[in-house]
Amino acid sequence: MATITFEDKKWEVNRRMNVLRFLEKEGINPEEVLVLINGKVVTEDAVMEPQDEVKILWVLSWG
């Protein structure tokens, strides 16, 4: 299963899924985050595979 982490949240997905679709489903604004699949930055049209490790990181400065 793909493991997706964002802040203190963790999801496991056992099927292919488009990054943008996942972000929208979870209410995460794609303009405010970077998505890394297996350590590489990807665009929102990338597809997550069941074996992938996915990290979502904020890109905004709160300062």
Query: Where are the chain's structural domains?
Result: 2-58
Query: Does the structural domain 2-58 have CATH classification 3.10.20.30?
Result: yes
Say how far apart CA 20 and CA 33 lie, in whole Å: 11
pLDDT for 14-39, tens place per residue?
A: 999 999 999 999 999 999 999 999 99
For the cut 70, the answer to whether the pLDDT of residue 63 exceeds it is no
> Counting runs of H as helices and runs of E as strands, what totals does the chain give?
1, 7
Q: What are phi and psi of 52, to 5 degrees?
A: -80, 155
Identify the pLDDT of residue 60.
75
Would you call 49 exposed, middle or buried from its count of C-beta atoms within 10 A (0-12, 13-18, 19+)? middle
Rg (Cα) of the chain, in Å, rounded? 11
